[in-house]
Amino acid sequence: MHLTTSLLFSALSVAPTFAFTSSRQLSVPHKWATSARNTVNHRHAFLQMSSIEANTVPIVITGNNVEVTPSLMEYVNSKLDNVIGKLSSGGVMQSCDVHLNVNRNPKVKEPHTAEVVAKLKGLTIRCAQTTPDMYASIDFVADRLKRKLRQFKERREDGFHDKLNIGENLASVLNAMEEDLADIPEEVEEEFVDVESTVVTKIKR
């Protein structure tokens, strides 16, 4: 009886230690461990991507008398992302709307119009371009938007509309875009809309 009791107490005292040790030293098959690491890495990458997308302002594209196909949407996004990508990710861009329109009148020689309205902090920039081809209109309107941003930067540095306060963030972003804007061809007429004074100012060169 005494021997049986001793064995029982010995078993009870060893069992918890064995369970704890085995759980700490449990070996996991290599393929399971690799799968677990890949799952964690994939989840981490997804969270990073979601964070980036959350800071990016979407480009809203609408059309009139034209089918906004996936390829057309992709082209618009690729062209404008080169222009407003830094502004959007930097929190300066509030919205960007693109409207595509086709004039069905056969007498109109340039029926394809692309219009962009970009709203920044304290500033709204609008530009439009009409050509015989929609893709060409998108190219030209993207170039005009680049030039307007460059002109606004120059006018801000020269003290034009001193009361317009858009913050240092916009200035730093525009400075970073200076090299990209250097190759944009000159346009005949540009238009700026000052949100605070609601005055339309035109520049002719």
Task: Identify the architecture of domain 57-204 in CATH.
Answer: 2-Layer Sandwich (3.30)
So where are the chain's domains? Answer: 17-54, 57-204
Q: Is the pLDDT of residue 9 over 50?
A: no
Continuous H helices in the chain: 2-24, 30-54, 70-89, 134-157, 167-176, 178-181
Continuous H helices in 57-166: 70-89, 134-157
Q: What is the pTM of this model?
A: 0.56
**Strands across the sheet with 189-194, in order?**
59-64, 93-102, 112-120, 123-131, 189-194, 199-204
Q: What is the mean pLDDT of the chain?
A: 67
Nearest to 152 by CA among 108, 87, 60: 87
Q: For residues 85 and 174, what is the distance between their CA atoms, to the nearest angstrom?
A: 11
Distances (CA, A) of 163 to 92, 149, 159: 18, 18, 9
The residue type of 134 is: M
Q: For residues 7 and 13, what is the distance between their CA atoms, to the nearest angstrom?
A: 10
Residues 64-115 have pLDDT tens digits of: 999 999 999 999 999 998 888 877 777 778 889 999 999 999 999 999 999 9
Strands 59-64 and 189-194: unpaired
Residues 137-159 have pLDDT tens digits of: 999 999 999 888 888 777 766 66
The residue type of 34 is: T
Residues 117-131 have pLDDT tens digits of: 998 877 889 999 999
Residues 163-186 have pLDDT tens digits of: 445 555 555 555 555 545 445 444
